[in-house]
């Protein structure tokens, strides 16, 4: 097993040096979750989306790529042995840091030294993306929790993403910060879908209003459109599950139902891509 890991690491490193894709390996679909401001629930939704997709039969790798708070492992009830920082520094390959999480998903824990991640060089960033891509033989989806950071590393994740799921709440500051995040991180030539999920929202009409405001601003000033991914209602089960370090999606409730529906739509999108290929 260790020889296989070493061979894969050498293959990935050579691929990064050559700036070429890994041969004969299918690429998993990258879903990046980001928020305009802290506290909107990006990590909670990333964990529960990944678990919901796992429960529906997808092979999912959940990556804690939040530069400022490494909470994914905690919410999954895991104790980190290694982290994404080990992959960045080329101390270990991606297979060596994976930990088995709820519903059979695989988890790449985050790190508690933000400067290590935020200051990583271009080569390290490309190596990390290549490592994620190398999981295609074993994973259908890579779900990346980038938190609310706005920097070069998160922008690289956006560029590599197949879909970007922006998490906001209905309050005005959150909506403004979501637009500011799109303005800062979205590339003019990007064809990546920008989806908007409104968290802690009471009704569809509020979601439509939030989506409309952000979409109009993006179309007018940036020439890009966003699509509505739905909303997650307030639900006491979310707080209870977080307190007990378990995913709320495994329980019955309105928030769980919303995430399960989102997971189904994400998986349907993957199926369409596979059939088209």
Residue 149: predicted pLDDT = 83
Rounded Cα distance between 35 and 25, Å, is 31
Candidates 254, 275, 256; CA nearest to 264 is: 256
Residue 60 · residue 141 · CB < 8 Å: yes
Q: How much of the chain exceeds pLDDT 70, in percent?
A: 84
pLDDT grade for 189, boundaries at 50, 70 and 90: confident
Say yes or no to pLDDT of 18 above 90.
no
Which two tokens mark 84?
């994404």
229: nearest Cα among 256, 208, 200, 253: 208
Query: How many other CB atoms sit within 10 Å of the CB of residue 192?
Result: 17
Query: Is the pLDDT assigned to residue 113 strictly greater than 80?
Result: no
Higher-confidence residue: 125 or 63?
Answer: 63
| Model pLDDT, residue 116 | 55
Confidence of residue 205 (pLDDT cuts 50, 70, 90): very high
Q: What is the average pLDDT value for the chain, to the nearest integer?
A: 87
Q: What fold does the segment set 28-77+98-109+135-276 form as a domain? A: Rossmann fold (3.40.50)
Span 43-75, pLDDT tens digits: 999 999 999 999 999 999 999 998 778 899 999
Could you give the CA distance from residue 89 to residue 182 in angstroms, rounded to a whole number? 29
- Taking the domains of the chain in order of start, what are their residue ranges? 28-77+98-109+135-276
CB 117 within 8 Å of CB 111 = yes
Q: What is the pLDDT of residue 122?
A: 84
pLDDT at residue 240 above 80?
A: yes
On the 0-12 / 13-18 / 19+ scale of CB atoms within 10 A, 26 is middle
């Amino acid at each position: 097993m260790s020889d296989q890991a070493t061979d894969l690491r050498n293959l990935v490193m050579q691929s990064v040096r050559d700036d070429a894709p890994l041969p004969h390996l299918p690429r998993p679909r990258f879903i990046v979750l980001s928020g305009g401001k802290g506290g909107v629930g990006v990590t909670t939704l990333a964990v529960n989306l990944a678990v919901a997709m796992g429960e529906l039969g997808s092979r999912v790798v959940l990556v804690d790529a939040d530069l400022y708070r490494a909470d994914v492992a905690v919410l999954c009830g895991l104790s980190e042995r290694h982290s994404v920082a080990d992959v960045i520094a080329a101390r270990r390959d991606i297979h060596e840091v994976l930990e088995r999480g709820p519903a059979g998903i695989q988890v790449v824990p985050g790190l508690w030294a933000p400067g290590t991640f935020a200051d990583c060089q271009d080569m390290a960033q490309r190596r990390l993306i290549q490592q994620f891509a190398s999981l295609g033989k074993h994973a259908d989806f890579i779900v990346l929790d980038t938190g609310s950071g706005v920097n070069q590393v998160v922008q690289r994740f956006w560029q590599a993403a197949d879909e970007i799921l922006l998490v906001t709440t209905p309050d005005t500051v959150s909506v403004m910060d979501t637009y500011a995040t799109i303005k800062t991180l979205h590339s003019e030539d990007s064809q990546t879908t920008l989806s908007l999920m409104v968290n802690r929202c009471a009704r569809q009409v509020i979601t439509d209003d939030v989506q409309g405001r952000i979409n109009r601003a993006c179309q007018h000033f940036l020439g890009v459109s966003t699509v509505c991914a739905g909303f997650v209602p307030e639900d006491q089960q979310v707080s209870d599950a977080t307190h007990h370090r378990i995913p709320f999606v495994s329980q019955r409730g309105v928030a769980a139902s919303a995430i399960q529906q989102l997971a189904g739509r994400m998986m349907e999108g993957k199926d369409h891509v596979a059939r088209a290929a």
